[in-house]
Chain A
Amino acid sequence: MKKLLTMVAAGAMAASPALADLVFPDLSYRTGPYAAGGIPFSDGYQDYMTLLNQRDGGIGGVMTRVIECETAYNTERGVECYESTKGEGALVYQPLSTGITYQLIPRATADGIPLHTMGYGRTSAANGDVFSHVFNYPANYWDAASVIVNQLLEENGGSLEGKTIALLYHNSAYGREPIRTLETLAEMHGFELTQLAVDHPGQEQGNQWLQIRRERPDYVVMWGWGVMNQVAVQEAINIRFPMENFIGNWWAGADHDVTSAGEAAAGYRSLNMNRLGDMPIFAEIQQYVHDAGMAAGDGSNLGNVLYTRGMYAAMLAAEAARTAQELSGVAQIDASMMRDGMEALVMTNARMEELGMPGVGPEFAVTCEDHGGTGMAIMQQWNGTEWVALTDFIAPDDSVTQPLVMEDSAQFAAENNIASQCGDS
């Protein structure tokens, strides 16, 4: 009897990791100066996975399992989280931090686990020919810079000649990413670019706004995250900068960034890579997850900007897993099948409608060469109480971003001796 029990226990221990479910690690940050952004994103991500389990019994009949690990937006803890979860059969990592992404790109590629850095991370990873395991669809930073400039061009009758644009950025890899694109665009369209760096964590912005007050640029474009956004919006109000000329990227346009300023921030604009609004999916999450008492976090974020984006990220991961299951014919997929599924992912409006989130993101199809999606984003505006979409999805200028992607990825390939990944297809 005792021997039998031991064998059962040994068998259970050997079988339990990895084989029973689809593991999606969630490297979240619910503490520190960036928690305001990390919490709703993580809540959305986890709630969608719970919804799939509760409503559909998982993906293709296999339950999903989310392992949450707190990184506090710190790269060393991000590495610890990656190492401690990768053995559980992790399918895809979404660290929501450009710094951690840079750590994980070589590690995950060596371990054969895909990374999905949706609208953050290393922009040139869009070139799948070099970065086999990194995906940044539907859009990346250089697309964002180009979309903002395209929108401004349209508002100014097609010319930005003689205008000045100040870039207020988080002084980190994240904030510095768009500089190269904006410099190229400045040369092309004849506007002047001023760069204003804000150091981590971003509360100290007095000097930068003093300079803005002195130089009065026509537009201020912000690449901010965490507490930096709130402070910047408040500073802009303090110097009476015209809010509609202050434009954030998609990480600088969430509810918590502007609610504290409220009415005074009305007019502030930002990009968004996913649409907001009343989608049928929220009712289902309310019914299956929140009412069942299984909500991640305190459940107060349902439907806000970053919650929707976290849910969108989870949806893209789940759809990629579904694609992988179809491709391989196996329900219990592993990381390499997941990678193939991500590379074969096709998002159509019909599919998004079927999933209960019509038009949440742009339509796109991932290929071996193109891991970046279309790069389209909408412009939204804060009206004092809520975010309102101003435009439909705006396309970036691929003729500007594509050569930069190619140049940067070619440099990475040369430094690391990476051969072409898509040669045989």
Chain B
Amino acid sequence: MFYREAGDFKTSYVDDNQTFPIAFDRYRYYLVLIVGLGVIPFLLNDYWANSILIPFLIYAIAAIGLNILTGYCGQVSLGTGGFMAVGAYTSYKLMTAFPWMDMVSVTLLSGFMTALVGVAFGLPSLRIKGFYLAVATLAAQFFLVWMFNKVPWFYNYSASGQISAPERTLFGMAVTGPNAEAWVKYVFCFSLVFVLAWVARNLTRGSVGRQWMAIRDMDIAAEIIGVNPLKAKLTAFAVSSFYVGISGALLFTVYLGAVEVGEAYGIQKSFLVLFMIIIGGLGSIFGSFAGAAFMVLLPVALKVLLVDTMGWDTALATHFQFVIVGALIMFFLIVEPHGLARLWALLKEKLRLWPFPH
């Protein structure tokens, strides 16, 4: 009834091309922003921030990054964990070498560093495709983790090989370290997510995104119509790694505070982010958010339900969690291979007709 184009008149091309052409969508988007920035920071406690919202925001960035590469440009990557580690170690080196640097610069520079590394590992994608590319990025994953373990310079020669984030501030407020307020960390992550998602959405709508999608759909045809595969693939690797690097940096600096590369950025992390975009929906920014929320929230929700509410044994609940997550992944792959984003799109299609479906 409310969700329809009718009556929403566009009088300029700018209006016609906007991201959310339906008024209801626009208002919903503004509402999310207002609640996210104007309400949640005031209600937030440590538990909600550190266990749910901050990991969700950070993984959403990683999922957008991988979605750009895999969902939009069609290049399968299993190196996400390794690229996240590049972001984390870059920010560690920057934070300890330049204590005066603010967190926005540290995070963005970590992203650029990861973009460089990503481009280097993306070069083979010009020659190899599909499974072979997946294996090449898998090699990047193992190589990067091995390197951060092997070269003591990366962890400042500490006895344990752990890196820990010192306290750094932004506008005089601590963003990292144990004394950072939950709402400061949340607002910092939320702002980055907002800017990055906005950029990603517009990149994928523009000529760059169209080139990526052309390469994804059929690279030979794309080359014939004038898309430069070198440029398209490498920009996808660069932009994707930039996002993934920022996510890895935030995971270390804001969320965990102390990190050990093999455990935090191992192959499991690559799979986790890959599951996020598969469940959320390949080639969709909304899908990246939905997938990240699904994978972050589900274990916590199951724990609250099975252990805290129903009083199950913790080990039994954890084993059940594997079963339930596995079953849900299979369910989605069979029933809706295009993920949560597709379900969302179907719902919107239905809503446009509601309450008169015929």
**Taking the complex as formed, is B169 at the interface, i.e. its CB lies under 8 A from any CB of chain A?**
no
B143–chain A nearest beta-carbon distance, Å: 13
- Could you tell me the distance between the alpha carbons of A111 and B47 in the complex, rounded to whole angstroms? 13
| B residues near A171, Cβ cutoff 8 Å | 149, 262
Q: Taking A83-B47, A83-B50, A84-B51 as contacts, is the C-beta distance between A200 and B262 under 8 angstroms?
A: yes
The residue in chain B whose Cβ has the minimal distance to the Cβ of A197 is B149
- Type the 1/0 row for B302-318, where 1 means its CB is closer than 8 Å to any CB of A: 01000100000011011
Pairwise interchain contact A28-B161, C-beta atoms closer than 8 A: no
Contacts A87-B47, A110-B178, A110-B179; is A176 near B160 (CB within 8 Å)? Answer: yes
- In the complex, whether A256 has a CB less than 8 A from a CB of chain B is no
Pairwise interchain contact A30-B160, C-beta atoms closer than 8 A: no
Task: Assess the A177–B164 pair: CB atoms within 8 A.
Answer: no
- Flag B13-31 by CB within 8 Å of A: 1 or 0 each: 0000000000000000000
Let me know if B159 and A180 touch, CB within 8 A: yes
Query: What residue of chain A has the Cβ atom nearest to residue B177's Cβ?
Result: A106
Selecting from B68-76, B118-126, B239-247, B253-261, the interface stretch reads B253-261
Task: Please provide the chain B residues from 214 to 265 with a CB less than 8 Å away from any CB of chain A in the complex.
Answer: 255-260, 262-264
Question: Contacts A102-B160, A103-B258, A106-B177 given: A75-B317 contact, CB under 8 Å?
Answer: no
Interface residues of A in 80-106 (CB under 8 A from B): 80, 83-84, 86-87, 98-99, 102-103, 105-106
Determine the distance from Cα of A89 to Cα of B240 in the docked complex, in whole angstroms: 43
Q: Does B266 contact A (CB under 8 A)?
A: yes
B319 to chain A, nearest CB (A): 6
Closest Cβ–Cβ distance, residue B183 to chain A (whole Å): 15
Residue among A35, A70, A179 facing the most chain B CB atoms (10 A cut-off): A70
What number of residue pairs across chains A and B have CB atoms under 8 A from each other? Answer: 101
- Choose one: A30, A76, A102, A197; the contact of B314 (CB below 8 Å): A30
Tell me the nearest residue of chain B to A142, going by C-beta. B159
Q: Are A106 and B257 also in contact (CB < 8 A) when A75-B264, A83-B46, A171-B149 are?
A: yes
Q: Are A99 and B318 within 8 A (Cβ)? A: no
Q: Is B166 interfacial (CB 8 A cutoff)?
A: yes
Among B50, B162, B178, B262, the residue within 8 A (CB) of A102 is B162
Contact between A416 and B167 (Cβ–Cβ < 8 Å)?
Answer: yes
Bound complex: CA A28 to CA B307 (Å): 14
Contact A103:B257 (CB < 8 A) given known A70-B314, A80-B300: yes
CA distance A420 to B209 in the complex (A): 56
| A167 CA to B45 CA, complexed, in Å | 45
Task: Mark interface residues in A345-380 (1 if CB within 8 Å of B CB, else 0).
Answer: 000000000000000000000000000000000000
> B55 interface residue, CB < 8 Å from A?
yes
Considering only residues 190-247 of chain A, those with a C-beta below 8 Å from chain B are 197, 199-200
Contact B166 A416 (CB under 8 A): yes
Question: Does A16 interact with chain B (Cβ within 8 Å)?
Answer: no
Q: In the complex, which residues of chain A have a beta carbon less than 8 angstroms from the beta carbon of B149?
A: 171, 197
Q: Which of A70, A79, A111, A122 contacts B256 (CB 8 A)?
A: A79
Nearest A residue to B182 via CB reads: A83
Q: Within the complex, what minimum Cβ distance (angstroms) separates A222 from chain B? A: 18
Alpha-carbon distance between A157 and B149 when the two chains are bound, in angstroms: 37
A33 to chain B, nearest CB (A): 12
| A98 and B160 within 8 A (CB) | yes
Residues B51 and A69 in contact, CB atoms below 8 Å apart: no
Partner of A74, one of B178, B258, B263: B263
Contact A83 B314 (CB under 8 A): no
Q: What's the minimum C-beta distance from B257 to chain A, rounded to whole angstroms? A: 6
Residues on B with beta carbons closer than 8 Å to the beta carbon of A385 = none
Q: Which of chain B's residues have a CB closer than 8 A to the CB of A180? A: 159
Q: Which residues of A contact B256 (CB under 8 A)?
A: 75-76, 79, 103
Given the contacts A31-B315, A31-B318, A79-B51, A176 and B161 also touching, CB distance less than 8 Å? yes
In the complex, the answer to whether B160 meets A28 with C-beta atoms within 8 Å is no
- Within the complex, what minimum Cβ distance (angstroms) separates A189 from chain B? 20
Interface residues of B in 141-175 (CB under 8 A from A): 149, 159-162, 164, 166-167
B51 touches A173 (CB 8 A): no
Report how far A180 CA is from B159 CA in the complex, Å.
7
B164–A106 touching, CB < 8 Å:
yes
Q: Which residues of B contact A83 (CB under 8 A)?
A: 46-47, 50-51
CB neighbors of A among B173-202 (8 A): 177-179
A415 is an interface residue with CB less than 8 A from chain B: yes
* 18 chain-A/chain-B pairs, Cβ below 8 angstroms: A31-B315, A35-B315, A39-B315, A68-B314, A70-B314, A70-B318, A76-B55, A76-B264, A83-B50, A99-B260, A105-B258, A110-B178, A173-B160, A177-B160, A180-B159, A200-B266, A416-B166, A416-B167
Given contacts A75-B260, A86-B46, 5 further A-B contacts (CB under 8 A): A103-B256, A106-B164, A106-B177, A173-B260, A415-B96
